[in-house]
Chains A and B, each alone.
Chain A
Amino acid sequence: MTGLPAESVLFSWAFEPVPAIGLLAAAVVYFLGWRNLHAQVPWRFPVERLVSFLGGLAVIFVALASPLDAFAGWLLVVHMVQHLLLTMVAPPLLLLGWPMLPLLSGLPRGFAREGLAPFLTSPALQRFGRFLVHPFFAGPLFIASNLVWHTPALYELALRFPGWHQVEHVCFLGTAILFWWPVVQPWPSRPALPRWAMIPYLLAADLQNTALAAFLSFQGGVLYQTYALAPRISGLSAADDQAGAGAVMWVPGSIAYLIPAGIIAMRYLSPRRRRHPRELQAPRAPAPPRRRFDLLRAPVVGPVMRWKYFRPVLQSVMFALAAAVVLDGLFGPQASPVNLAGVLPWLHWSGFSAIALLAVGNLFCMACPFTFARDLGRKIFPSTREWPRTLRSKWFAVALLAGFFWAYEFLNLWDSPWWTAWIIVFYFAGAVLVDGIFKNASYCKYVCPIGQFNFVASLVSPMEVRVREADVCASCKTHDCIQGNSSQRGCELLLFQPRKSGNMDCTFCLDCVKACPHDNVGILAVAPGRDLVADPRRSSLGQFARRPDIAALVLVFVFSAFANVAAMVAPVRDLEDAVRRSLGPQTAGLLWFVVFVFSVVVLPLALVRACGWISSVGSGQKLPSLASGFSVALAPLGFAMWAAHISFHLFSGVLTPWPILLRIARDLGLGTAVPDWNVPAPVFDGLPGLQILFLNVGLLFSLWIYWRKSLALTRRAMPVFLPWALLATALYAAGIWLIFQPIDIPGGINPP
């Protein structure tokens, strides 16, 4: 490509999140498994295997994300290189990594054992697997795929439609993996044919390759119209380009078949290799102990999180941000998109909190600026009283959370920097006042709506603050984790670590971690939702089945997720406008208040009662405990809806603070840069797909919990399961419909 701007060509990389994450996940799973196996049988899994597998993944990434892909639509020769990488380089490299055992060993043990083992040990599926990689099937399939995709009709289809191009790549890669399987024969698979049979097998493939390459090279005319019409950016004519593509297919393609054929022939003719003495004599090393992942023992992150001042520093940063939001909200321009109070709390705080909840747990409460102010206030206020016994439940918090959602929708909080600022001020005042009067973290446990939201959402988080070794706690006499000691307070939310289960009421404050004299509390990886299925007796909370207040909290959380989105989509907005026009603003406001109460309070109660009644008839269980216990299982679906919704706002407004900061600097006389309000919104066109995936995971998660809970109640689980499954599916369908509707953006995109 002489004369082309090299910089433009070399920087023509694409970052597609889904395949990049897929390849990275495959690399991580393989590495974790390889590490275990390398420790046990290093002669079978040397470093070369790791390098080979990771190299194969890297080749796939280069083929699909590098300039090769960007220019494949203009130059057939580049497209051919891309396809050769996918069919002749990546598959053998992947298979030389002997990927089966490392991939299995690298997956979470429970998933591998419970989810995959029944399939892997099924004789019928094993037979099917052997059939797929049998040379008599894999060889013809690979050749057919190559020939069929090179016919002009299908090749043009792939060039014109991205979806078909994906199908083409999947066919090439998939059939190539099957083709190369008997050639590489990754351990512990066994060959279906004698080793010498691989020589004619490879030569047959080379014959097809040569014939196709010769056809491309000598065909004369341009076979694919797209390349005839493509802009000529190099000295190559379309016919030369096609001949070059044929040459690439011919020479490097043939080499890729002939080298392994030669190696196999040489090995076959050489004296039989003796097994390495280590393989014969060395006993298999014991498997290294598999510990749960502990965030506090992770490199770099662990020491930072255990640092004495980590939380105060985090909180003071959030406190400074909250102060900036309040000041701008009170004194800045009262237009949501150009004010920090219209952007940071509603787009960024919610978005990053959701990401933290998905990746770790309740990190917002860890960084809570309100408890930072409370701790400062405690130096003045005595906090000697006990929280009133009648209020020691979640009912007050349920009412506050519902009220918060109502205010958000009907006072248009997101569109009022002034009100947003005052709410934050009220929050600070509430935290200081309540915890200045009452002992412990009464505000967090019984009042704070944001805290309750995070508690429910974190029920599905993958990490928990919990004990590392139960035996250590059994011999502990001091119980510092809850009682504290002279240098560190214990858990203010009254969660006794040995009997704590799940994330409900846990603020990730790490007081228990610091108080434990045995260093026996960490932030451990857990199977998400585990305690929703088992519903054990939890410290300070008991069983969810006996806590209708917690069930109500979850229901408000879940149904508000759907109501919150519904209030922003065009059909509901249109209806709202029509009602306002016909009834007048005051009557319409009252009507919409009634609708809100119905959708967030009355409807969930009625549905849960109906489902509970049907289930109780089927199981003989008491209605209240059944309804409470099963309501909580909707939390994953509710969080999925929140995540789907919040992700849209985050992606559409993530860059909005920058011009606002420039505006503030200008207002304060600290800068002269003129803010450019035309902020790009990185809403990628696959975003609805991501939102649907969130909902899919949420629904499947809730259904799985329902099924397991139903099975735990009775052997005839279906009558118990069905009503709840229908409820969850109906909510899912509503969520899908909402995702497909146009939405009003709460500030940040097109400011006035």
Chain B
Amino acid sequence: MRRLLAIALLLAAPALLRADGGITLGQIDRDGLRVTVFAAPVPIRVGPLDVTLLVQEIPSNQPVTDAVISCSVQKVGPPSPVPVRLPAWCSTIAPGARIPATAVHSRNKLLSGAYLPLTEPGSWELRIYITRGPTSFSASLPLDVAAPQQPLSTWWPLIALVPAAILLYVWRAFLVREKRRPI
């Protein structure tokens, strides 16, 4: 049984690790630079959009780390008829703002990243602005934003820990009672 405990302890440590993820939104070749844009979550939903960009020189594919990059999101078309409530942490970012994308916000330091708030479902436009030396350009990519996941569907595993802990306690009580029962 000690084995079980040891295994459980060892497994508990990395269980909640985040991994790389996201999708490639698109690739833009302009002025001798190739910009690959990644986005998470998958699928893109209302809430904070994690945008990361890789800038490379053409044709050497040499990653560029000295470009100044920023991005913004704009809703395309009419506003969504159903108001959507953003999760609480989303309210800390001003919607529509041009947010600098930096390596600080990305795990992979070849990438420049930023969080952008998507406040309603529907069609959006992601605009990126890139300046490197005398070269400066902007480009846009379409975003198809789905309705947000209900918080409960995201966080239910954590809430389920409560009944799981109670069941464990009940099980423990049962084991203790079994042990005390005279043979």
Give me the interface of A with B, judged by CB distance under 8 Å: 3-5, 7-9, 11-14, 16, 18-19, 22-23, 25-26, 29, 57, 60, 64, 67, 69-73, 94, 99-101, 103-104, 115-116, 118-122, 125-126, 128-130, 132-133, 158-162, 165-166, 169-170, 173-174, 177-178, 181, 186, 188-189, 229, 231-233, 570, 648, 652, 681, 683-685, 687-689, 692-693, 696, 699-700, 703-704, 732, 736, 739-745, 749-750
Please tell me if the beta carbons of A115 and B92 are within 8 angstroms of each other in the complex: no
Question: Assuming A132-B3, A159-B21, A173-B11, is B91 touching A699 (CB within 8 A)?
Answer: no
Find the A residue at minimum CB distance from B176: A118
Find the B residue at minimum CB distance from A736: B159
B24 at the interface (CB under 8 A from A): yes
Question: Assuming A22-B16, A100-B5, A648-B88, is B151 touching A177 (CB within 8 A)?
Answer: no
Please tell me if the beta carbons of B2 and A120 are within 8 angstroms of each other in the complex: yes
Question: Assuming A26-B9, A26-B10, A116-B5, is B88 touching A742 (CB within 8 A)?
Answer: yes
- When distances are taken between beta carbons in the complex, the residues of chain A under 8 Å from B87 are 688, 740, 742
Taking the closest CB of chain B, its distance from the CB of A363, in whole angstroms, is: 28
Considering the chains assembled together, what is the distance between the CA atoms of A166 and B24 in angstroms? Answer: 20
Task: Give the contacting residue for B18; candidates A11, A25, A162; CB below 8 A.
Answer: A162
Task: Give the contacting residue for B103; candidates A8, A161, A169; CB below 8 A.
Answer: A8
Considering the chains assembled together, what is the distance between the CA atoms of A696 and B19 in angstroms? Answer: 25
Task: Give the contacting residue for A745; candidates B3, B5, B15, B91; CB below 8 A.
Answer: B91
Please tell me if the beta carbons of B62 and A3 are within 8 angstroms of each other in the complex: yes
B13 at the interface (CB under 8 A from A): yes
Please tell me if the beta carbons of B4 and A99 are within 8 angstroms of each other in the complex: no
Taking the closest CB of chain A, its distance from the CB of B109, in whole angstroms, is: 4
Please tell me if the beta carbons of A104 and B162 are within 8 angstroms of each other in the complex: no
Taking the closest CB of chain A, its distance from the CB of B97, in whole angstroms, is: 9
Find the A residue at minimum CB distance from B84: A742
B85 at the interface (CB under 8 A from A): yes
Considering the chains assembled together, what is the distance between the CA atoms of A652 and B11 in angstroms? Answer: 31
**Beta-carbon contacts of B159-176 to A below 8 Å, as 1s and 0s?**
101100110010110011
Please tell me if the beta carbons of B179 and A233 are within 8 angstroms of each other in the complex: no
Taking the closest CB of chain B, its distance from the CB of A451, in whole angstroms, is: 30
Please tell me if the beta carbons of A169 and B16 are within 8 angstroms of each other in the complex: no
B155 at the interface (CB under 8 A from A): yes
Find the A residue at minimum CB distance from B175: A118
- When distances are taken between beta carbons in the complex, the residues of chain A under 8 Å from B107 are 12-14, 69-70
Find the A residue at minimum CB distance from B86: A742
Question: Assuming A16-B18, A115-B172, A742-B88, is B1 touching A120 (CB within 8 A)?
Answer: yes
Please tell me if the beta carbons of A160 and B42 are within 8 angstroms of each other in the complex: yes
- When distances are taken between beta carbons in the complex, the residues of chain A under 8 Å from B76 are none
Considering the chains assembled together, what is the distance between the CA atoms of A7 and B66 in angstroms? Answer: 13
Taking the closest CB of chain A, its distance from the CB of B124, in whole angstroms, is: 19
- When distances are taken between beta carbons in the complex, the residues of chain A under 8 Å from B11 are 170, 173-174, 177
Considering the chains assembled together, what is the distance between the CA atoms of A627 and B175 in angstroms? Answer: 32
Known A189-B2, A688-B88, A742-B85; 17 more pairs at CB < 8 Å: A5-B65, A14-B18, A22-B16, A25-B13, A64-B17, A70-B109, A115-B172, A119-B171, A128-B4, A130-B3, A177-B10, A188-B2, A233-B61, A687-B89, A688-B151, A688-B154, A742-B88
Please tell me if the beta carbons of B88 and A133 are within 8 angstroms of each other in the complex: no
B183 at the interface (CB under 8 A from A): no
B158 at the interface (CB under 8 A from A): yes
User: Can you report 17 A-B residue pairs in the complex whose CB atoms are below 8 A from each other?
Assistant: A7-B109, A22-B13, A23-B14, A100-B6, A103-B5, A119-B171, A160-B23, A160-B42, A166-B14, A170-B14, A186-B6, A188-B2, A233-B110, A693-B161, A696-B158, A700-B162, A740-B152
B56 at the interface (CB under 8 A from A): yes
Taking the closest CB of chain A, its distance from the CB of B177, in whole angstroms, is: 9
Interface centre among B27, B108, B172 (most CB of A within 10 A): B108
B20 at the interface (CB under 8 A from A): yes
> Which parts of B85-107 form the interface with A (CB within 8 Å)?
85-94, 103, 107
Question: Assuming A165-B19, A652-B92, is B2 touching A101 (CB within 8 A)?
Answer: yes
Please tell me if the beta carbons of B108 and A703 are within 8 angstroms of each other in the complex: no
Please tell me if the beta carbons of A689 and B155 are within 8 angstroms of each other in the complex: yes
Considering the chains assembled together, what is the distance between the CA atoms of A693 and B56 in angstroms? Answer: 42
- When distances are taken between beta carbons in the complex, the residues of chain B under 8 Å from A16 are 16-18
Taking the closest CB of chain A, its distance from the CB of B55, in whole angstroms, is: 10
B67 at the interface (CB under 8 A from A): no
Please tell me if the beta carbons of B14 and A683 are within 8 angstroms of each other in the complex: no
Find the A residue at minimum CB distance from B178: A122
Please tell me if the beta carbons of B63 and A122 are within 8 angstroms of each other in the complex: no
Interface centre among B19, B61, B166 (most CB of A within 10 A): B19
Please tell me if the beta carbons of B4 and A173 are within 8 angstroms of each other in the complex: no
- When distances are taken between beta carbons in the complex, the residues of chain B under 8 Å from A133 are 3
Please tell me if the beta carbons of B110 and A9 are within 8 angstroms of each other in the complex: yes
Find the A residue at minimum CB distance from B56: A231
**Beta-carbon contacts of B65-87 to A below 8 Å, as 1s and 0s?**
10000000000000000000111
Considering the chains assembled together, what is the distance between the CA atoms of A26 and B20 in angstroms? Answer: 25
Please tell me if the beta carbons of A132 and B7 are within 8 angstroms of each other in the complex: yes
Please tell me if the beta carbons of B13 and A60 are within 8 angstroms of each other in the complex: yes
Please tell me if the beta carbons of A129 and B19 are within 8 angstroms of each other in the complex: no
Please tell me if the beta carbons of A4 and B110 are within 8 angstroms of each other in the complex: yes
Give me the interface of B with A, judged by CB distance under 8 Å: 1-7, 9-24, 27, 34, 36, 40, 42, 48, 54, 56, 60-63, 65, 85-94, 103, 107-110, 151-152, 154-155, 158-159, 161-162, 165-166, 169, 171-172, 175-176, 179
Interface centre among B1, B34, B110, B169 (most CB of A within 10 A): B1
Please tell me if the beta carbons of B179 and A19 are within 8 angstroms of each other in the complex: no
Taking the closest CB of chain A, its distance from the CB of B141, in whole angstroms, is: 16
Question: Assuming A9-B109, A64-B17, A652-B92, is B56 touching A233 (CB within 8 A)?
Answer: yes
Find the A residue at minimum CB distance from B110: A8
Find the A residue at minimum CB distance from B93: A681
- When distances are taken between beta carbons in the complex, the residues of chain B under 8 Å from A71 are 108
- When distances are taken between beta carbons in the complex, the residues of chain B under 8 Å from A13 are 107
Taking the closest CB of chain A, its distance from the CB of B158, in whole angstroms, is: 5
Please tell me if the beta carbons of A73 and B20 are within 8 angstroms of each other in the complex: yes
Find the B residue at minimum CB distance from A29: B9
Taking the closest CB of chain B, its distance from the CB of A23, in whole angstroms, is: 5
Find the B residue at minimum CB distance from A56: B10
Considering the chains assembled together, what is the distance between the CA atoms of A651 and B166 in angstroms? Answer: 31
Task: Give the contacting residue for A160; candidates B21, B56, B103; CB below 8 A.
Answer: B21
Please tell me if the beta carbons of B92 and A104 are within 8 angstroms of each other in the complex: no
- When distances are taken between beta carbons in the complex, the residues of chain A under 8 Å from B17 are 16, 18-19, 64, 166, 169
Question: Assuming A3-B60, A12-B109, A70-B108, is B21 touching A178 (CB within 8 A)?
Answer: no
Task: Give the contacting residue for A18; candidates B10, B16, B48, B92; CB below 8 A.
Answer: B16
Find the B residue at minimum CB distance from A733: B159
- When distances are taken between beta carbons in the complex, the residues of chain B under 8 Å from A681 are 92-93
Considering the chains assembled together, what is the distance between the CA atoms of A177 and B62 in angstroms? Answer: 40
What are the nearest 3 A-B pairs in CB distance? A165-B19, A22-B13, A73-B20
Please tell me if the beta carbons of A166 and B155 are within 8 angstroms of each other in the complex: no
Please tell me if the beta carbons of A119 and B172 are within 8 angstroms of each other in the complex: yes
Taking the closest CB of chain B, its distance from the CB of A414, in whole angstroms, is: 16
- When distances are taken between beta carbons in the complex, the residues of chain B under 8 Å from A743 are 88, 91
- When distances are taken between beta carbons in the complex, the residues of chain B under 8 Å from A119 are 1, 4-5, 171-172, 175
- When distances are taken between beta carbons in the complex, the residues of chain B under 8 Å from A8 are 63, 65, 103, 109-110
- When distances are taken between beta carbons in the complex, the residues of chain B under 8 Å from A100 are 2-3, 5-6
- When distances are taken between beta carbons in the complex, the residues of chain B under 8 Å from A687 are 89
Find the A residue at minimum CB distance from B22: A160
Please tell me if the beta carbons of A125 and B1 are within 8 angstroms of each other in the complex: yes
- When distances are taken between beta carbons in the complex, the residues of chain B under 8 Å from A696 are 158-159, 161-162, 165
Find the A residue at minimum CB distance from B158: A692
- When distances are taken between beta carbons in the complex, the residues of chain A under 8 Å from B19 are 69, 72, 158, 162, 165-166, 169
Considering the chains assembled together, what is the distance between the CA atoms of A732 and B162 in angstroms? Answer: 11
Please tell me if the beta carbons of A692 and B21 are within 8 angstroms of each other in the complex: no
Considering the chains assembled together, what is the distance between the CA atoms of A128 and B87 in angstroms? Answer: 42
- When distances are taken between beta carbons in the complex, the residues of chain B under 8 Å from A67 are 108
Taking the closest CB of chain B, its distance from the CB of A740, in whole angstroms, is: 4
- When distances are taken between beta carbons in the complex, the residues of chain B under 8 Å from A122 are 1, 175
Considering the chains assembled together, what is the distance between the CA atoms of A70 and B21 in angstroms? Answer: 10
